[in-house]
Structure 1
Amino acid sequence: MFPIRDHNPSERTPYVTWVLIAINVAVFLSYWSLLSNDRATQDFFMTWGLVPAWSAPETFLTSMFLHGGILHLAGNMLFLWVFGDNMEDQMGHLGFLLFYLAGGLAAAAAQVMADPGSFIPMVGASGAIAGVMGGYLLMFPKARVDVVVILVIIFKVFPLPAWTVLGFWFLVQFVQGSMTPTEQGGVAYWAHAGGFAAGVVLTFPLWQKRGGAAFWRRTHGHPPHPDAIYREGRTMVPKVRRDKDRARSPWDR
C-alpha cells in the first residue's frame, strides 16, 4: 500500500520540491555505474553515507541525497512529490528547504542515537521526507490521499484521510524499529520515526500561526481550499464480455 497522489492542490509552483527531486535523481545517476560493483558501492557509501560509528559531520547532509537502487529512489521521490508541494505552499520556498534539511538532519541524528556503534552506512532521503509527512499530518489530517493497494495481481486505488495513511506509516516505522535489532541493518526505521516526529515539531509554530486548533475547526482538518477532483480517463484496453453476455454462434459448443 503506497500513496500515489493527494486531493490537495498547491497554490504556488513547488520549485524547491522539483529541484530536490532533480538533485536526488542527478546524484543517483552520477554513481549508478558503481552499483554493479559491490566493493566500489560499499566504498562509496562508507565515504559519503552516514556511518554512525564515526559520524563524519558532512555525511549527515550527503547521505540525504544517496540511494541504494532505482526502487529506493523512486519510492522516496514519489512520497516527496505527493506531500512536498503542499508543505512548500504553506512554508514558502526558502522555509520549506530549511525545513526539509532540518528534518533530514534530525532523522540522521535519531538513527545515530539508536545505534551509535554501527558501521553500516545509512543512505536515503526518506528521513527528510518523513519530516515532510509529519508536517503534512499536522496541517492537513483529513486531506484525502489516494493509495494503491496491491494484492497479488489486483490493483485498487482507495482515497483515505491523511491521518490514516501517515499515522499507519509512522506506527509501522516505530514498531519495526522497536522489534528489529539495530545491528541487523536494512531499513533505518528510527531515522524514519525520528524524521517524522521532527517534522511535526518543526511545523508546530506554523500550525499555531494559522490558529492551531481553531485552524482545524475552521477547515475540519481538510485543506483550506477546494479538493482536487480526479476523473479516470479512457483506457485503450478493450473490455471482454462474459460468455453469457455474448450471442452464441453456430460454432459454439
Structure 2
Amino acid sequence: MFPIRDHNPSHGTPFVVYALIALNVLIFFVQLPYMADDRALAKFWADRALYPVLVTDHFSYTGILTSMFLHAGWMHIIGNMLFLWIFGDNLEDQMGHFGFLVFYLASGIAAAFAHVYSAPGSTVPTVGASGAIAGVMGGYLLMFPRAKVDILVIIVIFIRIFTLPAWIMLGLWFALQVFSGLSTPLDGGGVAFWAHAGGFVAGLVLALPIWVRRGGPGFWARTQGRPPHPDTVYLPSRIPTVRRRR
C-alpha cells in the first residue's frame, strides 16, 4: 500500500522539490557503479553516510547532512522521491522556495539526531532522504489533514486505488513507524524507523509557525482541513479488474 498522488494542486512551480529530486537522482547515478561491490560501496559511503557511533564517540557530524542524499537501492530512491513529489509541492507553495528548503533540511537533521539517539553506538551506515521527507509528510498533515490522497493497494492479484483523507494515510504511516521502532531490535531490520518518526514530528513542529500565520484553527475552520483551492479531478482509474477463472 503506497500513495500515488494527491488531489491538492500546487499554484506555483515547486523549483526546490524539482531540484531536490534531481540532486538525489544524480547522486544515486554517481553511486550506482559502486553498488555491485560491497567494499566499494562501503568506501563510497565512508565519509558520507551517517554512522551514529561517529557522532556520539567522535563528534563527527558531516554524515548527518550528506546521508540525506544517498540511497541504498532503486526501490529506496523511487519510494522516497515519489513521496517528495506528492507532498512536497504543496508545502513549498505555503512556505516559499527558501523557507521550504530550510524546512526540508531541518527535518532531515532532526531525523538524523532521532536515529542517533535511538542507536547511539551503532556502526551500521544510515542513508536516505526518508527522515527529511517524513518531515514533509508531518507538515502536510498539519496544513491539509483532509486533503484527498490516492492509495494503490496490491494484495497478490488484487489491485485497487482507494482515496483517503491525508490524516488517515499519514496517521497510519506514522503509527507504523512507531510500532515498527518499538518492535524491531535496533539496527535489526535495516530500516531507521525512529528517524522516520523523529522527522515526522519535527515536520509537524517546524510547520507550526506557517500554520499559525495562516490562522491556526481558524485556517482549518475556513478550509475544513482541505486545500484552500479546488481539488484536482482525475479520470476514473484504468487499472483492470482481475476476474477469477472457474
Q: TM-score, normalised on structure 1? A: 0.91
RMSD, aligned α-carbons: 1.9
Q: Please tell me whether residue 101 in structure 1 is matched to residue 117 in structure 2.
A: no
Q: Distance in 2 between matches of 1:75 and 1:242?
A: 31
Could you tell me which runs of 5 or more consecutive residues in structure 1 were left unpaired when the two chains were aligned.
Answer: 244-253
Does the 8 Å contact 2:148/2:163 carry over to 1?
A: yes
Partners of 1:4 and 1:229 in 2: CA distance:
14
Deviation (angstroms), 1:58? 1.3
Q: What secondary structure sits across from 1:159 in the alignment?
A: strand
Work out whether 1:39 is the aligned partner of 2:47.
no
56, 69, 73: which is aligned to 2:73? 69
Residue 24 of structure 1 corresponds to 24
Q: CA deviation at 1:178?
A: 1.0
Q: How many residues align?
A: 241
1:78 pairs, out of 78, 82, 89, with 82
Task: Give SS of 1:88's match.
Answer: helix
Q: CA deviation at 1:40?
A: 1.1
On the 8 A contact 1:120/1:185 being kept in 2, the answer is no
Identity of matched residues, %: 59
How far the C-alpha of 1:113 sits from its partner, in A, is 0.5
Q: Which residue of 2 aligns with 1:149?
A: 153
For structure 2, the residue ranges without an aligned partner over 5 or more in a row are none
Alignment of 1:1-253 (within 5 A): 1-55=1-55, 56-232=60-236
Query: After superposition, what is the alpha-carbon deviation per residue over 1:23-79, rounded to whole angstroms, capped at 9, x for unaligned?
Result: 000000001010000111122223210000012211111000000001100000000
Q: CA deviation at 1:124?
A: 0.2
Q: Deviations over 1:204-241 (max 9, x none)?
A: 01111111111111111100100000014778x8x999
List 4+ stretches of structure 1 deviating above 3 A: 232-235, 239-243
Contact 1:83/1:136, CA 8 A, preserved across alignment: yes
Whether contact under 8 Å (1:53, 1:119) holds in the other structure is: yes
CA distance in 2, matches of 1:110, 1:156: 35
